[in-house]
Amino acid sequence: MSPDASSFLPETQAIHSGRGIDPATGALTPPIYLSTTFERGEDGTYPSGYIYGRSGNPNRNALAAALATLEQGTAAAVFGSGSAATFTLLQALTPRDHVIAPRNVYFGVQEMLAKIFAPWGLLYTLVDTTDLAALAAALRSNTRLILIETPSNPQLAITDIGAVATLAHQAGAYLACDNTIPSPVLQTPLSLGADVVIHATTKYLAGHSDVIGGAVVTKTANPLFDQLRLIQTMGGAIPSPFDCWLTLRGLQTLPLRVRAQSQTALTLAQWLAQHPAVERVLYPGLPEHDGHGIAQQQMQGYGGLLSILVKGDQDAALAVTTRTQLFTRATSFGGPHSTIEHRASIEAPGSETPANLLRLSVGLEHVEDLIADLDRALGGKNEK
């Protein structure tokens, strides 16, 4: 019999939640259930609890159970990507509903809102969610959802989850928090007042840059989550059984990976803050960061993602990326290898990301090797 993983600490939850001994073989690692359909009982019921792959699968249910436990929620829905998770959450609203989202929210979400949901009839306002007065002023009688991302991507702004939850609930709205960057190891928004949590499981949860996925975890049963589940079942925005299996496998090392990456990122941020070629470091673990005080209160570590503003223009920033050896020029983050990306050149026109910003995803390499790599790249030194 599997233990109740919710009573354990994150390291133990990551190993045991959503997992059990296979009753047929005694295997510790769960099998991959590729079947799209399941046998009905003689009376027409479904004794196994499964009907069809679009509505449920053992691997998907196991991953959902694990994520709900780690995020201290009651249920989760897992998707084929993080974008699909956010898309379905927004689709669970109705035309003329009003959404508030951060001005510097992930550019893909801005594109969704502007190009898909606004023509469909959803109303939205982009505000600085770190400014509670501005957020309160943006509330309307038809505001149904406030979406926050903390830390934000790629500028690492910090939003006060508890304070925004209070504003949302006073207005009769839900609060959704994208928790991709810190992961539930470093931050649990549901315990701070959020109603739902969003993840791109592609990043830290799966952790190896080899599977795309997303998730929405709910604190309690509510109409918004019920509608989201209905849309997912009807529309089929689901991950494959193998993708779920890979993500569940990645969860087992999540606490160890995230804490190691977070510690290395802090060391790098402190070193970069003193580098003559760096104008500014954006990392909530630094005391000079605008959101440092709030981050100290609501996080248990500051994450493995940071951004730097290189002294100079876009060309100067891009040149740095051509000189790194360990930091690979690539999009996404959260894997075991370190990556570097010039964000403004990949984002949509009108992006507020500075032209001289580079986003660094810190992997699991030794910190001294990463420092040496960045020092060479920032100094423009030739390889010996």
Listed in sequence order, the residues at least 6 apart from 378 whose beta carbon sits closer than 8 Å to its beta carbon are 275, 277, 278, 310, 320
Active site residue 54: yes
Active site residue 381: no
Q: How far apart are CA 190 and CA 177, in angstroms?
A: 9
Catalytic residue among 203, 257, 280, 359: 203
Q: How far apart are CA 259 and CA 57, in angstroms?
A: 31
Catalytic residue among 33, 144, 174, 178: 178
The owner of tokens 């001289």 is 356
Q: How far apart are CA 271 and CA 373, in angstroms?
A: 13
Contact 152, 123 (CB under 8 A): no
103-115 burial: b if 16+ Cβ within 10 Å, else e: bbbbbbbbebbee
Catalytic residue among 54, 229, 259, 311: 54
For the CA atoms of 61, 19, 219, 178, the dihedral, rounded to the nearest 10 degrees, stands at: -80
The crossing angle, in degrees rounded to 10, of helices 241-251 and 58-70 is 30
Active site residue 313: no
Active site residue 204: no
Neighbours of 275 (CB within 10 A): 17
Neighbours of 346 (CB within 10 A): 12
**Phi and psi torsions of 138, nearest 5°:** -85, -10
- For the four alpha carbons of 286, 110, 69 and 204, in that order, the dihedral sign comes to negative
Alpha-carbon distance values, 184 to 52, 69, 89, 188, 282 (Å): 30, 10, 20, 5, 21
Instruction: Compute the C-alpha angle 118/120/125, nearest 5°.
Output: 25
- Copy the structure tokens of residue 44: 């027409």
Rounded to a whole number of angstroms, the distance between the first and last alpha carbons of the chain is 58
Catalytic residue among 33, 60, 97, 106: 106
Active-site residues, by number, are: 54, 106, 178, 203
